[in-house]
Structure 1
Amino acid sequence: MNDTELNRLIAQWLDGRIDERDSQSLQQQLRDSPHARRLFQQYTTLDAELREIASGGTSSNLSHKFSPTDERAVRTATSEVAASRSAGWMQWAIALSLLMVVGGTAYWIGKSGSTQQPIATVATTSDPPAEGTISGYATLRRVADLNWADNAKSYREGDVLPAGILQFDTGVAEIDFFCGATLVVEGPAKMDLESDWSVRMLAGRMRANVPPAARGFVVKAADSEIIDLGTEFALEVGPENARVEVIDGEIKLQGGKHDGNHLTTGQHRTLAGGDAASDSFQSLSTLSDVRRRHQQQQRERFQQWESYAKQLASDERLIAYYPIADLANDRVIPNQAASGSSFHGSIVGAVSHTDGRIGTESAGLEFSRPGSRVRTRIDGEFQAFTFLCWARIDSLAHVYNALFMADGYENGEPHWQIDNDGRLMFSVMVDDSAEVIHYSRVEDAVVRDAGRHRVYRTEPIWDLSKTGRWMQFAAVYDPASKRVRQYVDGVIVSEHEIPNDLLVRKLHIGPSEIGNWGQPFRKTPSFAVRNLNGAIDELAIYNAALTTQEIQTLYENGKP
């Protein structure tokens, strides 16, 4: 097929005037010809940009849609598309003029070697992907009975700690600096993280363990710097005095009244104020003390959660409830809701058992291998959906990363997943018989979509700094109010109105999967790779639209 005929078909398709015969001919060309697909991509992109400009909108991307070498294609596409428009010709003319001005200006600025910043830059396939970065100097490894100070930023175990103030009123924290030093800090405490190798202690008691790789680690207190030369020392900073003692090894004091002093095992100095009691460090927590208190706290927290989970299972609105955190090491995931054993889940593939969100007391399921999943079948017709789970994300390795997915994605069935930008995605199929052809920016190709539906996305809710953190996700599909709401850790992060033409009142689930989507009814051996690179340790599905208050209560009673 020559370009003239192909342009005509694309223009008719864009204008909605294409008949069945020409539609089949166009689809055949798109399947068979890379050239046809490229033209289709260019023209549909141009059409969208022209529509936006003609409607009064703006576009920041026009300058790199077509290069000057594409001018012939631009003119051809524009003439074909414009010819199919019987109304609004003046807006289209203005839009095209703006396109040529923006595109031409970008081109000539680049060609003339101007020192001005180019309007747009085009990445080539040889450009390496941007490397992910996060900011911080240490990690919060373990806590026991910790209560953060009012108005202070709070952190969870495993979080990266950035530069700045860390303050808590009670409890004890174990902090690992990236240089290798470990601090055990007792509250009330206030400290300022300055770098991988330096921290200023403003208040509190601490024990520093510094291995050879971290030799030279500095703790600042009063007007002195304590430089550790290996291996362990203790420090207390109070309102009126500051005191340091070497437990094992050697330190050097720099600045202050003891400038230049070297202290070895058993020696101590008062850095500010009067002398403190010589035995003031005997009760200071050790690493073993922190671990013991931490384990006891986890046991108590898990018992509280178990009691609450039993109450939760009696909620008559539950379709299915999988408290995986209370799971024995087998291949069946019991449904604890009143709907019973018919909705049990079955472990398939290399699903790994791991610690749950309440540590070693609880259990979770990891889906890090492509074939790993939990399969279930949930029959029935429902009036609303609330999906809620606790999940730990280690990475978003795939374009789409599954939480809960209906197999066939037929009318009224849900898909719940996270894209590789960290956005939660929830959708319900509206019309599985519809054939929707469109250009996918994700796949960089013209694709035939799986029926008519709308994906409701949040803003990014996950990044590398949250790697390994247990989070509660919730999605509410409420036909009665025509709203879709999504939550993270009990806080609403997005709310969308459901358009009338996309509203589904009769909801279904059917055969489905937790943590993956393998499309078991596919016609080829290939399947989408959407396994969640992480773990899930609790999943609840309601035949109801839970309120924001109910979701917040579930979070408070379920958090680690």
Structure 2
Amino acid sequence: MSNEPSPPTDELIERYFLDPQSLSDAEQSTLVRALQEDPSVRSRFRVAAFIDAELRFESSGEETSSPSITAPTGLGDAWPKWILAIAATLLLFGVLGYLNWPATPQQTQEPIANQQSPPATPEVATAIALLDVGHNQKFEPGFAPSGSEFHQGEYHLSEGEVTLTFQNGVAVSLESPARFSIIDPMRMQLDHGRARAIVPESGHGFVIETSTMVVEDLGTEFGVVVDDQQNQELHVFAGEVRLHEKNLPPELLTENSALAWDNHTKRRTITPDDGAFATSMSIGYKRWLDHSLQLRQDPAALFYFDFETDSRKSAEVVNRATTGIVDNGQLTSGIWATGRWPEKGAMLFENTGDRVELNIPGTYDQITIMGWVQINRYDFALQTVFNSVDYSPGQHHWNLTRGGSLRMGLSGQYDLTSKQTLPQNHWTHVAAQMDAKSQESVYYINGEEVDRKQWTTSIPIRYGPSSIGAWGHTNRAGQVTYSRDLRGRIDEIALFSRILSADEIREAFEAGSNFQ
């Protein structure tokens, strides 16, 4: 008896469809047993059989096709006996399932005269994929998803970009114009456009097919292009794919490789172009940028800092709000850094005294503040996100505790510590509404309300001299000193002189959340 390890199941399936006689008796038994015990193996075997039948039919030259799938040609008039055992096994599963199906009332009870059957409940089809993120997307009538749900069928994306997430975790990003069909959770067809697939282990074996090729995932990230003239490209960015072409044996392509085909020449090798395909991240950045432009143009915006700069030596933090009420912030110390996306700027607060100073004139009956923060470390009992200098009646403070909770307060009215915490080294959206008219404050983390607090009296809200990243307080000598240093990044923070609704806060979170 041989002590050599058995080949992987995928290899056995591939060898069967290339040459079933190449499998030894032991390998045949291994494959049969795997098909009997593992539903995923049966699924991959069916996909392989379908691909093999399609390729053999295309190469046969026949003008019409039959809906049935026959045994691969070249194997004689009958299937090998051991593969008939597989078919029998699959049939047995179906028979046993039928015999063990729970009996219905009609099968176990005598019919009752004039009994009316309850109306049939319509069967709701489960979506195969969901819209993960989109930017200015528009679908042609009759070829559009049902809301955010994509079922089996054909779709025409006429404008914008989308990323779909399949049941198995596969993410496919498409750019308009695109015509594509969703066949099942493991297969889609691209007739025109650009598609990029990012396939996790749970989606191993996912397929994108075109009119002339089938691209089978082997744990990959890859892109497929089909243009107006049916010129095609395949780019492999990570992992491996198995390429099936007409009249050719399957071929393995590895990462950092790319091929192109057209109607007039044979295929050629090209340079893979990672930047030529949309991803969930790139689509998310465009969506956030559109939303950012809306926020900075809000008539109630007092300041809007996006921490973008033309020079990383700049000591000025530009206030993008168009109202002109608050001047640009002054960077005392801090590090210009990268934010949620590679294209996005941020301010890194790392050292003692790192802060942005600003002055906010006036008093307000309503305030909303929100932003994106990433905490690297919790070094102190309290760390400052955004505070007024000192803490006089009506002034608002926004800190974090050493445990990661929001620690908020309005001087003379309340202090509040959230039960929910901010994780380290992860971007988190935080927001607050303060209403002197209703005497209530509400706080949010990642678009969801986490706490609210009633005030005892109505008092106008004010800031005056303030800072982002550290708290300034006046000592006995009349000097302002700073403490409660933040240890992390902020890449967006804004203050409005109105109450943004819960829906607006949730929209801001969702618009900025596709950064990974």
Q: Normalising to structure 1: TM-score of the pair?
A: 0.46
Q: Normalising to structure 2: TM-score of the pair?
A: 0.50
